[in-house]
Structure 1
Amino acid sequence: MSNSPIATPKADILVIDDTPENLALLSQILKDKGYKVRSVTKPSTGLRGAQAAPPDLILLDVKMPEMDGYEVCKRLKADQRTHDIPIIFISALGELLDKVTAFEVGGVDYITKPFQVEEVLARLETHLTICNLQKQLQAQNKQLQQEIVERTAAEEKFGIIFRSSPNPIAIATLTEGRFLDINPCFSKLTGYSQTEVIGRTITELNPSLTPEIYDSAVQYLLENGSLHNKEYEIYTKEGQPRVVLVSTELIELAGVQCTLSIINDITERKRMEDEFISLVSHELRTPMNSIIGALDLLGTQKLGTLTELGQQTINIATNNMERLIRLVNDILDLERIKSGKIAMRYVECQADKLLIEATQAMQAMADSAQVNLSVEPTPVQIHADPDRILQTLTNLLSNAIKFSEPGETVSLRSSLNCEYLQIEVQDRGRGIPQDKLQLIFERFQQVDASDSRAKGGTGLGLPICRTIVEQHNGRIWVESSLGEGSTFYVRLPVDEGLGTGD
Structure 2
Amino acid sequence: MSEESPATLLVVDDNPTNLAVVCAHLAKSGYRMLTAENARSALRRLDRVEPDLMLLDVMMPDMDGFELAHEIRKREDYHGQPIIFMTALDDMDSKLSGFAAGGVDYITKPIQHEELMVRVKTHLEVSQLREALRQENAKKDELISQLDAYDMTVAHDLKNPIGGIASAVETFEMIEDLTGDEAREIVEMIKLGANHAQNIINGLLSFARFRKGVVELSTVDMQALVKQSLESLATLIEEYDAEVRIEGEIPPAYGYAPWLSEVWTNLISNAIKYGGRPPVVIINAKSTDDKISYTVHDNGNGLPDDHEELFKPFSRGQSAYIEGTGLGLTIVERIIRRLSGSILADNDPEGGATLTFYLPKPENAD
Structure 1 length normalisation: TM-score?
0.42
Task: Kindly report which structure 2 residues correspond to 1:38-49, keeping only aligned pairs within 5 A, or say none.
Answer: none
The 1:171–1:295 alpha-carbon spacing in structure 2 relative to 1, beyond 3 Å, is farther
1:484 pairs, out of 322, 329, 351, with 351
**Alpha-carbon distance, 1:327 to partner:** 1.8
Aligned to 1:391: 262
Whether the aligned pair in 1 keeps the contact of 2:346 and 2:353 (CA below 8 Å) is yes
Matched, 1:270 2:142: yes
User: Which runs of no fewer than 5 residues in structure 2 stay unpaired?
Assistant: 1-42, 54-71, 85-126
Q: CA separation in 1, counterparts of 2:302 and 2:161?
A: 36
Q: Any idea what SS the aligned residue of 1:470 has?
A: helix
The 1:377–1:354 alpha-carbon spacing in structure 2 relative to 1, beyond 3 Å, is farther
Whether the aligned pair in 1 keeps the contact of 2:294 and 2:358 (CA below 8 Å) is yes
Matched, 1:459 2:332: no
Whether the aligned pair in 2 keeps the contact of 1:411 and 1:425 (CA below 8 Å) is yes
Q: CA separation in 1, counterparts of 2:352 and 2:289?
A: 29
Aligned to 1:21: none
Whether the aligned pair in 1 keeps the contact of 2:344 and 2:357 (CA below 8 Å) is yes
Q: CA separation in 1, counterparts of 2:262 and 2:132?
A: 33
Aligned to 1:330: 203
Aligned to 1:409: 280
Q: CA separation in 2, counterparts of 1:465 and 1:484?
A: 23
Counterpart residue type for residue 445 of structure 1: S
**Alpha-carbon distance, 1:436 to partner:** 1.8
Give the alignment's Cα RMSD to 1 decimal: 4.7
**Alpha-carbon distance, 1:431 to partner:** 0.8
Aligned to 2:189: 316
Q: CA separation in 1, counterparts of 2:301 and 2:289?
A: 34
How many residues of Structure 1 are paired with residues of Structure 2 in the alignment? 259
Aligned to 2:290: 419
Matched, 1:374 2:263: no
**Alpha-carbon distance, 1:187 to partner:** 5.5
Whether the aligned pair in 2 keeps the contact of 1:352 and 1:377 (CA below 8 Å) is no
Q: Deviations over 1:243-300 (max 9, x none)?
A: 58xxxxxxxxxxxxxxxxxxxx74443343466688999999xxx9999999999999
Task: Kindly report which structure 2 residues correspond to 1:251-330, keeping only aligned pairs within 5 A, or say none.
Answer: 266-273=138-145, 306-307=178-179, 308=181, 311-330=184-203
Q: CA separation in 2, counterparts of 1:296 and 1:377?
A: 48
The 1:396–1:330 alpha-carbon spacing in structure 2 relative to 1, beyond 3 Å, is same
Q: Any idea what SS the aligned residue of 1:438 has?
A: helix
Q: Any idea what SS the aligned residue of 2:249 has?
A: coil
Matched, 1:498 2:364: yes
**Alpha-carbon distance, 1:186 to partner:** 5.2
Aligned to 1:444: 314
The 1:385–1:187 alpha-carbon spacing in structure 2 relative to 1, beyond 3 Å, is farther
Aligned to 1:111: none
Whether the aligned pair in 1 keeps the contact of 2:218 and 2:254 (CA below 8 Å) is yes
Whether the aligned pair in 1 keeps the contact of 2:254 and 2:359 (CA below 8 Å) is no
Q: CA separation in 1, counterparts of 2:48 and 2:297?
A: 38
The 1:404–1:293 alpha-carbon spacing in structure 2 relative to 1, beyond 3 Å, is closer
Q: CA separation in 1, counterparts of 2:315 and 2:358?
A: 22
**Alpha-carbon distance, 1:374 to partner:** 0.8
Whether the aligned pair in 2 keeps the contact of 1:369 and 1:401 (CA below 8 Å) is yes
**Alpha-carbon distance, 1:460 to partner:** 1.2
The 1:498–1:290 alpha-carbon spacing in structure 2 relative to 1, beyond 3 Å, is same
Whether the aligned pair in 2 keeps the contact of 1:432 and 1:482 (CA below 8 Å) is no
**Alpha-carbon distance, 1:458 to partner:** 3.3
Higher relative contact order (CA 8 A, sep 6+): 2
State percent identity of aligned pairs.
16
2:226 pairs, out of 355, 379, 388, with 355
Q: CA separation in 2, counterparts of 1:361 and 1:290?
A: 26
**Alpha-carbon distance, 1:240 to partner:** 4.2
**Alpha-carbon distance, 1:490 to partner:** 0.6
**Alpha-carbon distance, 1:416 to partner:** 0.9
Q: CA separation in 1, counterparts of 2:154 and 2:275?
A: 34
Whether the aligned pair in 2 keeps the contact of 1:352 and 1:380 (CA below 8 Å) is yes
**Alpha-carbon distance, 1:333 to partner:** 1.7
2:299 pairs, out of 424, 428, 436, with 428
Q: Deviations over 1:3-22 (max 9, x none)?
A: xxxxxxxxxxxxxxxxxxxx
Q: CA separation in 2, counterparts of 1:362 and 1:391?
A: 12
Q: CA separation in 2, counterparts of 1:359 and 1:410?
A: 11
The 1:279–1:427 alpha-carbon spacing in structure 2 relative to 1, beyond 3 Å, is closer
Q: Any idea what SS the aligned residue of 1:237 has?
A: helix
Structure 2 length normalisation: TM-score?
0.55
Q: Deviations over 1:116-153 (max 9, x none)?
A: xxxxxxxxxxxxxxxxxxxxxxxxxxxxxxxxxxxxxx
Q: Deviations over 1:389-433 (max 9, x none)?
A: 111111000000001234442011111111101100011111113
Q: Any idea what SS the aligned residue of 1:344 has?
A: coil
